[in-house]
Amino acid sequence: MQNSRANPGIRRFAALFTLMTVALLPACGGGSGDGTVAPPVATQPPPVTAAPQLTLYAGNTGGAGWVDGRAADARFDGAYDVKLGKDGSFYIADTENHVIRRMTAGVVTTLAGQAGIWGDADGTKTAASFTRPQGIAVDGAQNVYVADTGNRRIRKIDANGNVTTLAGRFELAEPVDGPGSVARFINPVGVNVDDAGIVYVVDRESSRTPGRLRKITPDGVVTTVVAQDSTFAVLGDAVAIDLAGNLYVIGAVGSDTTTLPSPGGSVLPNIVRTAKLLRLSPAGAVTTLGTVSSDASYGGIAVDRLGNVYFSKTSNHEVYAYTASTGQIGLLAGSYRPTGGFDSHGLPFAPQSLGSADGTGVAAQFNRPAGLTTDAAGNLYIADVFNNTLRKASPAGVVTTLAGAAAKRGDANGPALQATFGRNISGSATDGAGNVYVSDRDVIRKIGIDGQVSTFAGGSAGTVDSTGAAVRFTSLAGITIDPAGNVYFIDHVLVRKIGLDGKVTTIAGAAGMQGHVDGAGANARFEALQGITRDGAGNLFVTDGTVVRKITPAGQVSTIAGSAVETGSADGSGSAARFGSLYGITADAAGNVYVADQVYSTLRKISPAGQVTTIAGQAEQEGLVDGAGANARFTNPTGIVIDPSGNLYVSDSGNRAIRKMAPDGTVSTVIMVPSLKQFLFEPILQSLTLGSADTLYLTQSGAVLKLTLGGK
């Protein structure tokens, strides 16, 4: 079962990322010359071209994604469970990436599966596929067991990376015991393995429905675990095992119930079984260690060598500890409380919400913590699902981030690497002094050469021409700046300008009025503005859905290429040409205009006479292929910019790559960009601008990156 909808770019990215080193480190300036004098021509060695280098310039690159590498640079997507192997490696069920990851000595790699591709194929390493694997366990021989939740199977990965199906198959969701593929699971979510190689599985229909424990022998025979008390049921998503073979779960036993608030304003009582922390002995005896909240979901559970039990209260973003020596349950870390109080360390806490902050006890924040594992020193490791991180909590409750990075989005100004940006930074430009300007929702932000981020214009939604705080923008996109420093930009269906005096004016279009009408200034109508550029004569050119429009210095708007009523990918003159969905736009010194057709994955050129030609790629032929002109392939290109030498640089968003088209038409790949998960229809790589002959700035969700080309 192969996922035909998976993004092809992420597959190519997986293959190519290992070929290059990309350091997402704080920018430290450009320059690649060593200042030495060249030897005589007769003895001069071939010139050495420095490798392109990508650095974080402003904002942050945290959030969901798929990147192997150093722990801090690694990216996960909804990783739900983690286990520590006896080899000292962490094994991670990276749920939304459909892969199994391993972290050894601070380096994250992909153990099995391919990111972004779901399926049920057995095979070796990347030849295998999973569907939303949620639980993970590892035995003493480094065999890894996976609750392949979306496939209703339990999979095994041996020490050589061979993936096989241990039990279950995707058919009816029902609890059927039996050998191998005869067995059935409803919804296997949690898994663990004891020293004898017996695998235990939490099998639940939903988070609101009591489930059962299943047991799988090493030869794949599945049975249902039977407790001495027939009222025993599982309420959490995980099972832990201690050195004596006792099992621990969040569950229910006995007849006691709890009445919760009725959902949806229902007048009917909402009576549920009372949730408890339970221990199940090898003989099936059930012991209640304590009562826990019945109105929460529980994602993970672990037990250390001293018999202390830890469990994650996932819905409340908290982690709790049962202390064996006292028999008490207390809050270890995190807080999501409507009122203040004291944690198990005696520290006071105030009301807090979910987040990603490191800290001690209630000062730490999580965003749906789930899977847990412990080490011999008593440290606890937590799969922080919605933060896409692996966290560590010391026995004293000190929480740190071990791998991955949480998304930090917002509008905070300040030092570039502490500032925050929104998810869609859809426009960028540079001025003559080296300052970078980006469109960030309804504000234009400035990243100064001093490394400080500030708000250049705007501040709240609306459409108001004015100065200072009175200015209002609606939905910003492309930006361009003229040699004098005037800023021109797209604001929904308007083309607007910020003059040298800081005054904002609208030079074309009318607020709230969409359409396709040529004309002067406010009489013109636009439909889907995105990119903007400027030629040497002061004319502005914009991409407007399936057409390219021109705005003269006098404000006269005309359509120079494409049709507003018909899409396609046809070359031709003026209105005879057809485009799919245009995004980025740039112009050269001769007055030629270049556009990136995101839908048809091509680069197009419009001459000063309005003649449209396809200069690279082929319509509806996606891929990551270097070569000359029509032999090259792109996948959903977005940003495009031209340098003084006539080289075109392109944000090849679907491939997560920056591409270059030389004046002779040859397309090459400059660098692959470790990128975040795509949200809805937002492009992964959003805008591209030229800083100098050797520097590009590109934007992605929440971040501005600097690419030093190194002569490439």
- Tell whether 585 and 529 lie within a shared domain: yes
pLDDT for 423: 83
pTM assigned to the model: 0.84
**Domain CATH number, residue 527:** 2.120.10.30
Share of the chain residues as helix, strand and coil, in percent rounded to the nearest 5: 5, 45, 50
- Tell whether 647 and 626 lie within a shared domain: yes
58 close to 417: Cβ distance less than 8 angstroms = yes
What are 420's two structure tokens?
């925050």
Asked whether residue 555 is assigned to any structural domain, the reply reads yes
Which residues are paired to 241 by β-bridges?
A: 247
- Tell whether 324 and 436 lie within a shared domain: no
**473, 445, 477: which is closest to 460 by C-alpha?**
473
- Tell whether 527 and 665 lie within a shared domain: yes
- Tell whether 694 and 595 lie within a shared domain: no
- Tell whether 331 and 399 lie within a shared domain: no
Asked whether residue 570 is assigned to any structural domain, the reply reads yes
- Tell whether 66 and 194 lie within a shared domain: yes
Cα 125–636–588 angle (5° rounding)?
A: 135
pLDDT for 209: 76
Cα pseudo-dihedral 560, 562, 563, 566, rounded to 10? 180
- Tell whether 447 and 562 lie within a shared domain: yes
Instruction: Return averaged pLDDT per consecutive 10 residues of the chain, 712 residues in all.
Output: 37 34 34 31 51 93 92 95 97 97 97 94 97 97 97 97 95 90 96 97 83 96 97 97 97 93 74 95 98 94 97 95 97 75 51 80 94 97 97 96 93 95 92 95 94 92 87 94 96 96 96 96 96 97 98 97 96 97 96 96 97 97 96 96 96 94 97 74 83 91 93 69
DSSP labels for 106-146? Answer: TEEEEEES-TT-B----EEGGG--BSS--EEEE-TT--EEE
Asked whether residue 23 is assigned to any structural domain, the reply reads no
- Tell whether 494 and 563 lie within a shared domain: yes
63 close to 406: Cβ distance less than 8 angstroms = yes
Asked whether residue 266 is assigned to any structural domain, the reply reads no
Q: CB-hemisphere CA count at 13 Å for 21?
A: 5
Asked whether residue 37 is assigned to any structural domain, the reply reads no
Asked whether residue 44 is assigned to any structural domain, the reply reads no
- Tell whether 291 and 398 lie within a shared domain: no
pLDDT for 22: 36
Asked whether residue 411 is assigned to any structural domain, the reply reads yes
- Tell whether 100 and 185 lie within a shared domain: yes
- Tell whether 256 and 189 lie within a shared domain: yes
Total number of domains in the chain: 2
Expressed as residue numbers, the domain containing 556 is 367-672
pLDDT for 461: 87
Asked whether residue 468 is assigned to any structural domain, the reply reads yes
pLDDT for 18: 32
